[in-house]
Amino acid sequence: MPSKSACLRHTEAPGQLEGRMFQGQLPNTDKNLTPTASSLPATDPRGSETNPMPPFSIQAKPSNQNSQAKAKPVTPQLPMRPKLERTLSLDDKGWRRRRFQGSQEDLTIQNGTSPCRGSMQDSPAQSPACSRPLPCLSTSLQEIPKPRRATGSEGGSTSLWSDCLPGMISTSLDLLHREATPGGGSPKLASLHATHTPPPMDLNIASSSLRTANKVDPEHADYKHRMQTRLVRAHSSLGPSRPRSPLAGDDHSIHSARSSFSLLAPIRTKDIRSRSYLEGSLMASGALLGADELARYFPDRNMALFVATWNMQGQKELPASLDEFLLPTEADYTQDLYVIGVQEGCSDRREWETRLQETLGPQYVLLSSAAHGVLYMSLFIRRDLIWFCSEVECSTVTTRIVSQIKTKGALGVSFTFFGTSFLFITSHFTSGDGKVAERLLDYSRTIQALALPRNVPDTNPYRSSAGDVTTRFDEVFWFGDFNFRLSGGRVAVEAFLKQDSEVDVLALLQHDQLTREMKKGSIFRGFEEAEIHFLPSYKFDIGKDTYDSTSKQRTPSYTDRILYKSRHKGDICPMKYSSCPEIKTSDHRPVYGLFRVKVRPGRDNIPLAAGKFDRELYLIGIKRRISKELQKQQTMKNQSSSAVCTVS
């Protein structure tokens, strides 16, 4: 296909080319500067004009050196060949409606000197034909570089031609190209008759709505702000038909562009430059554990906490599913932190932790795991919250006379989350119906012997006591098998349990040894317990829902408990306190509690765990979930295929 420039050189003479290209659009600048017959619009016999473009008459400015000299005729130079060629298969109407903005046009908009998109009030000398392009004109203007300005006399230039020329030349080039290519293209592209001619506009339009829509009016109130915040690639190599970068200058400011890439909160450059993260304060901007970061994850500054205790009775067999234990149906959503304490745990501790990881899924990681004999404690946290945890510290206490026997004692784990310090203690006190004094002694030894915290600083040392570990932390949860029984004998307790209506739990708790000792203040001073609405968790026949049917006939009791204590009143709010009767592999039923705990911002001088977690356990748990899902799908496939009968 011949190029447009080749058609211009060989098909027309220069004089004929000017007449055909600019007929009815460009003035004939002769000596008298009057339009000739070739420049007048063609009329039909009825007298109506067929050319939509009105004639122009422009006075050439005389030169300063020779004021008497006559103005030379203005001959606009042809533009360079377009960079891109449009394919004939594109829909013409869809192509004409598209509007791409090139990097060169971005620069003109940045300077506020766009020739055809600015305010009409600021350019009274501009032609109405240039202020609003005609619908019939091709959008190939976007493909042509900025045209050279046609100079008149030595001292003057006709900027009007450089402003209005691109649309006219584009239309004429398209017309010549279609005429020079016989049978080429669509009849739509060859037809350039203007059927909908817009009426001429008044040059003194001062409508504020037009200026607001254009967004480039220097008098508009938002103009300066938008021009200052616009980002432009001055040397962009992107063509006008390619998609532009989001930073190449849009109607959005840099402040609103922060949410166009991701939903993460922006990080200020000055914070990275100024913050050392070795020490900080609550008011510091950009602190890792500060108020801004805390508000991202907990706008109401309350985290969800799951605490559970279970005496496994040393059984090797684990339940087939732990969903009812860790994921109770009463909670619509999972919790942020899971703390599970076990007494008389199974022999394979690693297998137990793997089952916990498998049940919670890949959204949780094992933050810490500690053991003291057969006392286990596991802390699982949401994986996107591990960066705000301090180092996890643990301490143990043996309450047996012989320290090598670690069936009874306590295990404490502590860490700081943002600016709130947590202490979790799981204990197994002395057993026996009448050994209340021994259990009180176990409690006293535990609060005195637990050496926590060590390296993590105390969030409020003025309210701490060297003789009580529970006073050194903001939030304390103490749970386990405390072995406090229901006094009065088994017959009296069974009388309450065999009632046809709901069991009167309040009447049972009046015989509870732990409730009575807490009211006296001899144990768990300052601790609270949520209301109990479940049956006694001890002692059941393994695999059954009946209480002890052996010859010992132990009294059903609330031995497994969860207590909590806070430095600030109201920081801990219990949401659910219940047992899990579905798990029957032990003579104890698991007991769990759901809490909402208030979290405060912290300081950057807290030694962080730096995202440390048990990676090996995490991978094993994921692989098990995948293998179980594949087995489940294969089983369902086999069942569906066996149910279909084939007849040959």
Q: What is the pLDDT of residues 459-486, one digit of tens each?
A: 999 989 999 999 999 999 999 999 999 9
Q: Using the predicted structure, report yes or no on whether residue 274 has a pLDDT greater than 60.
A: yes
> Any idea which of 200-209, 530-539, 562-571, 614-623 has the lowest mean pLDDT?
200-209
CA nearest neighbour of 380 among 618, 620, 623: 618
Looking at beta carbons, which pairs linking 347-355 to residues 24 or more positions away fall under 8 Å?
347/314, 347/316, 348/316, 349/376, 350/617, 351/318, 352/318, 352/376, 353/378, 353/614, 353/617, 354/617, 354/620, 354/621, 354/624, 355/318, 355/322
Looking at beta carbons, which pairs linking 258-266 to residues 24 or more positions away fall under 8 Å?
265/292, 265/296
Residues 6+ apart with CB under 8 A from 461: none
* Contact status, residue 26 vs residue 54, Cβ threshold 8 Å: no
CA nearest neighbour of 385 among 323, 304, 318, 449: 304
Residue 147 — very low, low, confident or very high, per pLDDT cuts 50/70/90?
A: very low
> Any idea which of 244-248, 382-386, 566-570, 587-591 has the lowest mean pLDDT?
244-248
Residue with tokens 């509870």: 512
Max mean pLDDT among 96-110, 323-337, 634-648 falls in 323-337
Q: Assign 3-class secondary structure to 481-522.
A: ECCCCECCCHHHHHHHHCCCCCCCHHHHHCCEHHHHHHHHCC
Looking at residue 465, the DSSP 8-state letter turns out to be B
Task: Give CA–CA dist 201/77, Å, rounded.
Answer: 28
Looking at residue 142, the DSSP 8-state letter turns out to be G
Mean pLDDT, residues 405-416:
90
Q: Using the predicted structure, report yes or no on whether residue 190 has a pLDDT greater than 60.
A: no
pLDDT at 387: 93
Instruction: Assign 375 to helix, strand or coil.
Output: strand
Q: Using the predicted structure, report yes or no on whether residue 313 has a pLDDT greater than 70.
A: yes
Q: How far is CA 307 from CA 310, 429, 577, 591, 594, in A?
A: 11, 19, 10, 9, 7
Report DSSP letters for 572-629, one per residue.
Answer: EEEEEEEE-TT--SSSS--EEEEEEEE-----TTSPB-TT---HHHHHHHHHHHHHHH
The rounded percent of the chain whose pLDDT value lies above 70 is 55
Q: Using the predicted structure, report yes or no on whether residue 15 has a pLDDT greater than 80.
A: no
Task: Determine the length of the chain.
Answer: 648
pLDDT at 496: 87
**Digit-coded pLDDT (tens) for 558-609:** 999 999 999 999 999 999 999 999 999 999 999 999 999 999 999 888 899 9
pLDDT at 99: 52
Task: Give CA–CA dist 206/480, Å, rounded.
Answer: 79
| Angle separating helix axes 159-180 and 14-21, nearest 10 degrees | 100
Mean pLDDT, residues 181-192:
45
Q: How far is CA 276 from CA 49, 281, 604, in A?
A: 76, 12, 9
Q: Using the predicted structure, report yes or no on whether residue 127 has a pLDDT greater than 70.
A: no
Average pLDDT, the chain: 73
> Any idea which of 266-275, 366-375, 566-575 has the lowest mean pLDDT?
266-275
pLDDT at 546: 93
Residue 198 — very low, low, confident or very high, per pLDDT cuts 50/70/90?
A: low
Q: How far is CA 71 from CA 27, 38, 66, 310, in A?
A: 14, 20, 10, 103
pLDDT at 45: 44
* Token couple for 562: 């969860």
pLDDT at 439: 96
Looking at residue 551, the DSSP 8-state letter turns out to be T
Looking at residue 297, the DSSP 8-state letter turns out to be H
Looking at residue 389, the DSSP 8-state letter turns out to be B
Task: Give CA–CA dist 24/35, Å, rounded.
Answer: 10
pLDDT at 207: 47
Task: Give CA–CA dist 407/610, Å, rounded.
Answer: 34
Report DSSP letters for 40-61, one per residue.
Answer: SPPB-TT--B---SPP---PPP
Mean pLDDT, residues 27-32:
46
* Contact status, residue 130 vs residue 116, Cβ threshold 8 Å: yes
CA nearest neighbour of 601 among 309, 289, 321, 376: 289
Residue 83 — very low, low, confident or very high, per pLDDT cuts 50/70/90?
A: low
Task: Give CA–CA dist 586/614, Å, rounded.
Answer: 28
* Token couple for 259: 């949410």
pTM across the whole model: 0.61
Which is more confidently placed, 406 or 489?
Answer: 489
pLDDT at 116: 43
Largest distance between two CA atoms of the chain: 133
**Digit-coded pLDDT (tens) for 495-524:** 888 876 678 898 899 999 999 999 999 999
Residues 6+ apart with CB under 8 A from 238: 102, 103, 244, 245, 248
Task: Give CA–CA dist 133/439, Å, rounded.
Answer: 92
Mean pLDDT, residues 94-110:
50
pLDDT at 78: 62
CA torsion sign for 83, 88, 89, 94 is positive
**Digit-coded pLDDT (tens) for 55-68:** 444 444 444 444 44
Residues 6+ apart with CB under 8 A from 530: 562, 574, 577, 593
Residues 6+ apart with CB under 8 A from 123: 131, 203
Q: Using the predicted structure, report yes or no on whether residue 174 has a pLDDT greater than 70.
A: no
Residue 401 — very low, low, confident or very high, per pLDDT cuts 50/70/90?
A: confident
Q: Using the predicted structure, report yes or no on whether residue 534 has a pLDDT greater than 90.
A: yes
pLDDT at 219: 53
Q: How far is CA 197 from CA 165, 190, 215, 415, in A?
A: 19, 18, 26, 77
Residue with tokens 């569906």: 640
Task: Give CA–CA dist 354/619, Å, rounded.
Answer: 10
φ/ψ of 342, rounded to 5, equals -130, 135
CA nearest neighbour of 164 among 41, 37, 22, 32: 22
Q: Using the predicted structure, report yes or no on whether residue 275 has a pLDDT greater than 70.
A: no
Looking at beta carbons, which pairs linking 326-331 to residues 24 or more positions away fall under 8 Å?
326/356, 326/359, 326/360, 327/359, 328/576, 328/578, 328/580, 328/592, 328/594, 330/576, 330/578, 330/594, 331/575, 331/576, 331/594
Instruction: Assign 390 to helix, strand or coil.
Output: strand
**Digit-coded pLDDT (tens) for 135-145:** 444 444 444 44
Q: Using the predicted structure, report yes or no on whether residue 32 has a pLDDT greater than 70.
A: no
**Digit-coded pLDDT (tens) for 207-221:** 444 444 444 444 555
pLDDT at 412: 98
Mean pLDDT, residues 147-161:
44
Task: Give CA–CA dist 416/393, Å, rounded.
Answer: 10
Residue with tokens 């004998």: 489
Mean pLDDT, residues 180-204:
48
Mean pLDDT, residues 249-276:
60
* Token couple for 427: 């204990």
